[in-house]
Amino acid sequence: MPENRCLQGIWSSPWIFIFAAGGSAVGLGNIWKFPYVLGENGGGAFLMVYCLCLLAVGLPVLIAEVSLGRTVRSNPIDTVNDLSERNLLHSRWVIVPWLAGITGFLILTFYSVISGWSMAYLERAVAGQFAGLDQSSAQSMFDTLLSSPGEMLFWHSLFMFLVILTVGQSVTRGLSTLVRILLPALIIILLFLASYSMLVGNAAEAIDFLFRWSWQDLTFDVVLAAVGHALFSLSVGMGAMFAYGAYMSKRMSIARACAIVVGVDLLVALLAGLVIFPLVFAFQIDVEAGPSLTFVSLPIILGALPAGPFVGAIFFLLLVIAALTSAISMLELFVAWMHEKYYIGRLQAATMLGGAVWFIGIAVLMSFADWDSKLIFGLNGFELLDKFTTLIMLPVVAILLSVLVAWALPRDMLQKELITQQVNHFQWWHNVLKYISIPVMVLITVAGWIGV
Ligand code: PHE
């Protein structure tokens, strides 16, 4: 089948999509956020529900987003406009890609600040500052960073500079080469760190915490956190995968590619859990420590390793690059749109958008620097943006997008896009999306809002 053209280019090999989408999915969400959300939500119960959510919600919605992107091979905004016109749908559907783009944009404002922490820790690792850290010195190292707005601003600015430079490139260059090496390297390093951590830490208690199922731990908050994190971790609901779908080769089965992305995403998150928790229990760190979990417990283990500075530097370098490949996907939607619609150069578009993200990010890092100053609804800037995007924007966009795909668009058009010779589970996917994913997302999101 000849490939129809896409203004931004098409990835030469079907596998590049998997690496790029995997690069977007695997990020701080897996290594930094997953362990602490799991810790706050009771371990095994969260993991079980999370796996279910990946299968019943994350995967079907991911497939929907990617197929939507590949149908028209344009940026998400023009794609929805085009599809609405062709299928006589209401033109207001275009609000969905707009909201998606705005969600990605807002997430990047705090994602960049946290990525900046990773860069700061990369510097500390190279300087050998992890050696001999114990629980209290590791904690105070993290607190010192959080109370230094100047240092956070420096790293946040450097990170956004890198994001702008990378997104500014064409999608067929830079990114694809980077992720091909990066993702396997990240998995190998994590495997190594997890083995070490299980050897020196309390592996039995960690495994028990991660995999023990108990009905008592299963609360509504756990389910809510699991759905939210499944969407966040797979990068769905913010147009990143929608935009990447447009560059995917028609030779690749969307269902198979998405299933691989989900598998890799879960694997990396589990490995991160196996790095963190054996230490958390061995050093008696509070499992409910929240965002500081990775930045406090990991340096302790790295400091104890014989090749600590080296392994630490590699680990944080990979974390920064993993964050970078996620961050660039958050800007792709608007950059592609500005480039295709207004012929603005990619670098110029990335600079404008990235500059705005950088500016809002300053407010976020100030809220960390003065952690106790609660601003609105008892939440500081970071908590507010995090909750607003992951608990409200993300599910709303994911629901609207799924309704568009499952109910509004003609079935045979999707069928043509999705069915390849290799995999043919169209009916199955369509029904799960319609009758499981959408109702589950609506129910849980609304119940979460009214505080059930
Ligand atoms: N999935 C990424 C992670 O786990 C975060 C992300 C969100 C990436 C939104 C792109 C878009 O870190």
Ligand 1 pocket check for 325: Cβ under 6 Å: no
Ligand 1 pocket check for 115: Cβ under 6 Å: no
Ligand 1 pocket check for 34: Cβ under 6 Å: no
Ligand 1 pocket check for 268: Cβ under 6 Å: no
For residue 376, the SS3 value is strand
How buried is 341 (Cβ within 10 angstroms: 0-12 exposed, 13-18 middle, 19+ buried)?
Answer: middle
Ligand 1 pocket check for 402: Cβ under 6 Å: no
pLDDT at residue 4, as a whole number = 53
Distance CA 247, CA 243 (A): 8
Greater confidence, 240 or 2?
Answer: 240
Distance CA 290, CA 36 (A): 5
Distance CA 195, CA 304 (A): 14
Q: Check pLDDT > 60 for residue 422.
A: no
For the chain, the farthest-separated pair of C-alpha atoms sits apart, in whole angstroms, at 66
Tens of pLDDT along 108-133?
999 999 999 999 999 999 998 998 88
Instruction: For residue 177, report the distance from its CA to the centre of ligand 1, in Å.
Output: 19
How buried is 187 (Cβ within 10 angstroms: 0-12 exposed, 13-18 middle, 19+ buried)?
Answer: middle
Which residue's structure tokens are 């600079």?
A: 351
Distance CA 309, CA 311 (A): 6
Atom of ligand 1 nearest to the CA of 34: 4
| Consecutive H or E run containing 41 | none
Domain 4-450 part of CATH 3.30.110.40: no
Averaged pLDDT, 353-371:
87
Task: Please give the share of the chain, as a percent, with pLDDT higher than 90.
Answer: 47
**4-8, 58-62, 255-259: least confidently modelled range:** 4-8
pLDDT at residue 1, as a whole number = 41
Ligand 1 pocket check for 233: Cβ under 6 Å: yes
How is the chain split into domains, by residue range? 4-450
CA angle, corner 312, sides to 311 and 313, nearest 5? 90
Distance CA 288, CA 38 (A): 9
**8-12, 49-53, 272-276, 426-430: least confidently modelled range:** 8-12
Tens of pLDDT along 216-228?
888 888 888 899 8
Instruction: For residue 232, report the distance from its CA to the centre of ligand 1, in Å.
Output: 6
Distance CA 332, CA 104 (A): 9
Which residue's structure tokens are 């147009």?
A: 239
Tens of pLDDT along 280-325?
888 777 788 777 788 988 888 778 777 777 878 888 988 898 899 8
